[in-house]
Amino acid sequence: MSFGYTQALWMKESATYGSAEDLATGTLYILPVKANVSLAQEIDVIETEHMRATASKQQAEIQTGKSSAGGAFSFVVPCKSAISTGANAFCVLVKHLLGKLATSGPAGTTYTHTFTWNDLLFPGLSIGGNRAGASYVYHGQQIKSLKLTCKVGGPLEATVTTVGKSEAAAAALTAPTVVLLSADPYWIFQDATFKMDTVATPITEIDLEFTNELEEADDKSFVLGSTTRALLPKAGHTVTGTVKRRHAVDGTNISKFYTKFLSQAPAALQLTFTNPSDADYTMVINLGVCKYKGKTPEASDKGLIMEEVPFEALDLNLSTSSIVITDEVATPATATGSYDGAGA
C-alpha cells in the first residue's frame, strides 16, 4: 500500500506564544505527511477609500494589514515517528491538542502516555518544512482540530488544522531521517477494536473530530500596534464523531445504537489499536460519556441496511475520557498546559 509521502514537517515547542523557534537545532519532532500541506500566511489588504480627485483607485489607498498563519496537513498515523532522542511526533500533537499529559514507566521497555483534556493549552508550536527550495516555518501554531478516520480496507488517517501567528522563510533545512517501526509502522483497520459500553461491537468505519475553540477573532487575538497575533488561548473543546456499521438486531429497539439514542442514556466508547508485531505499541481512545444522535435505520437499496450514527462526547473533564498511547520513548514527559493568553 502506498501512502503518498513526499515530505516531512518539523515541529518544535514554543517557549512563549508566537516565539520564533529555530528548527535547525534543539529538540525537534518529525512527522511524515502527505503532499497536500496547506500551511500558509494570509495578509489582509486595507482599502481606505479616502477622498480623491479621480475616478480610479490610487495606490496610496491600498496597504497591507493584519496577518495570520496556519492551515492544514494530513498523514497516516504512525505507531512511531522520531529522530534520535525526539518523542513520537503524534504524541506531541495530542499533547498540544488536549493540554494535559502524564507519562509513566518504563514497565519493561514500555512507557505509557495518558493524555487528558485541560481547560488551558500550551503556548503552541513552530511547524515548518521544505518547499520549493526553501524552508517555511509557521510560528505560534495552536491546534484547532484533529480529525481521525479509519474504515475497513484502510489505515488510520489524520488531518490537523492549525491557527497561528507568523511565517518565516529561510534556506532549506537538511532533510530529516525519520525513524519508523521496521514492521507494521502505521495503524491499520485490522489492528483496531471498537467497544460500546465495554462490549466489542463490529463496525465498518469511524470518524472522530477533536476541536479546540480558539480565541482567533480580531478583537480577541490582536492588539493595536502590531499586524500579528498577540495571543491565542482557547475557550472550550469538543469531540464529535460518526460510527458506521451494518445494521444488527442487538438492542431493545432493534439497533443498540438507536436504543441509546431514544433513551438518551450515555454510552462509553472505546477505540483500541494494537500493533501486531510489537506489543509495546498501542493506542486507546476512551470517550466515557457519549450521547448518540440519529434516526431510524433505513434501507437505501435491496441489500444490507447500513447504519450511520453521529455522536458527541460529553464530560471530557472526567477520568473516563482519555487518549492513552504506549511506546518505547520516555518523552513527552508529564506536563500540564497553563497558557491562558495572559501577559500578551
The CA distance from 101 to 79, in Å, is 18
Asked if residue 109 lies in contact with residue 74, where contact means CB atoms within 8 angstroms, the answer is: no
Mean per-residue pLDDT, 188-216? 97
Mean per-residue pLDDT, 49-78? 88
CB neighbour list of residue 300: distance below 8 Å, 6 or more residues apart: 306
pLDDT(39) > 80: yes
Asked if residue 150 lies in contact with residue 187, where contact means CB atoms within 8 angstroms, the answer is: yes
- Residue burial 333-343, b: 16+ Cβ < 10 Å; e: rest: eebebebebee
Give the model's confidence band at 266: pLDDT under 50 very low, under 70 low, under 90 confident, else very high. Answer: very high
Secondary structure string (H, E, C) spanning 5-29:
EEEEEEEEECCCCCCCCCCCCCCCE
Q: What is the pLDDT of residue 88?
A: 85
Backbone dihedral region for residue 317 (phi beyond 0: left; psi -120 to 50: alpha; all else: beta): alpha
Give the model's confidence band at 25: pLDDT under 50 very low, under 70 low, under 90 confident, else very high. Answer: confident
Mean per-residue pLDDT, 115-133? 94
* Cα-based distances in Å from 120 to 55, 115, 216, 332: 52, 13, 15, 18
Mean per-residue pLDDT, 226-241? 97
* Residue type for position 137: V
Backbone angles phi, psi at 189, to 5 degrees: -55, -35
The strand pair at 267-274 and 282-292 is best described as antiparallel
SS3 95: helix
Give the model's confidence band at 4: pLDDT under 50 very low, under 70 low, under 90 confident, else very high. Answer: very low
Mean per-residue pLDDT, 258-283? 95
Q: What is the pLDDT of residue 2?
A: 44
DSSP states along 148-194: EEEETTSB-EEEEEEEESEEEEEEPPPPP--B--SSS-B-BGGGEEE
Q: Which of 237, 293, 236 is nearest to 267 (CA)?
A: 293
Upper half-sphere CA count for residue 184 (Cβ side, 13 Å): 15
The CA distance from 288 to 270, in Å, is 8
pLDDT(83) > 80: no
pLDDT(196) > 90: yes
Give the model's confidence band at 84: pLDDT under 50 very low, under 70 low, under 90 confident, else very high. Answer: low
Mean per-residue pLDDT, 220-244? 96
pTM: 0.93
Q: What is the pLDDT of residue 317?
A: 95
Asked if residue 71 lies in contact with residue 162, where contact means CB atoms within 8 angstroms, the answer is: yes
Q: What is the pLDDT of residue 154?
A: 96
Q: What is the pLDDT of residue 3?
A: 47
The CA distance from 115 to 208, in Å, is 16
For residue 332, is the peptide bond before it cis, meaning its omega torsion is within 30 degrees of 0?
yes
Centroid of chain to Cα 15: 21
Percentage, residues of the chain above pLDDT 70: 97
Q: What is the pLDDT of residue 86?
A: 59
pLDDT tens, residue by residue, 143-195: 999 999 999 999 999 999 999 999 999 888 887 778 888 899 999 999 999 99
Q: Which of 96, 126, 122, 137 is nearest to 12 (CA)?
A: 126
Average pLDDT, the chain: 91
Asked if residue 128 lies in contact with residue 22, where contact means CB atoms within 8 angstroms, the answer is: no
